Amino acid sequence: MGLAFAGSGTTAIKSAYILYHLSRPENKAIKVELRTEVQSTGQSHSEVKDCPYLNAVINEAMRLNPSLMGGLPRMLTSAVIVDGANGVVLPPGPVVRMQNYVHQRDPLVCSDPLTYDPERWIGQPPSSALEKALTPISLGPRNCVGQNLAKTELLLAISAIFRRLDLRLNANIRESDMGMEDRLSILPSLSAQASPSDIKSATPTGKGVHAIIDCVTAAAEHPSIFEALDPEGPKIYSQVMTGVEIQVPDGVKAELAFGKNALVGETGHTVMAALNVLLETGKYKVPIPVEVLGHGFEVIPPGLDLLMKGVSGLKYAVTVVDSYNSSDRLIG
Chain centroid offset of residue 214 CA:
28
Contact 180, 65 (CB under 8 A): yes
- At 192, which amino acid appears? A
Question: What is the mean predicted confidence (pLDDT) over 70-97?
Answer: 82
Winning range, highest mean pLDDT, from 162-171, 203-212, 213-222: 162-171
The pTM of the whole model exceeds 0.85: no
Residue in 171, 231, 216, 235 with CA at minimum distance from that of residue 311:
216
238: Cβ–Cβ under 8 A, 6 or more apart, which residues?
213, 225, 256, 257, 259, 290
Separation between Cα atoms, residue 132 and residue 109, nearest integer Å: 9
Least confident of 20-24, 50-54, 129-133, 267-271: 267-271
Neighbours of 54 (CB within 10 A): 22
215 is in an annotated binding site: no
End-to-end CA distance of the chain: 24
Task: Look at residue 180 in the predicted model and tell me its pLDDT.
Answer: 67
What is the full DSSP assignment across 162-198?
A: HHH------TT--GGGG-EEEESEEEE-GGGS--HHH
- The answer on pLDDT for 222 being more than 60 is no
Separation between Cα atoms, residue 77 and residue 60, nearest integer Å: 32
Report pLDDT digits (tens) over 167-206: 888 777 777 667 665 544 454 543 333 333 333 333 333 3
Question: What is the mean predicted confidence (pLDDT) over 244-253?
Answer: 43
Q: Which domains does the chain have, with CATH numbers?
A: 1-68+102-192 (1.10.630.10), 70-98 (no CATH), 288-331 (no CATH)
H or E element: which one contains 259?
none
Task: Look at residue 28 in the predicted model and tell me its pLDDT.
Answer: 93
Neighbours of 125 (CB within 10 A): 7
Higher pLDDT: 57 or 17? It is: 57
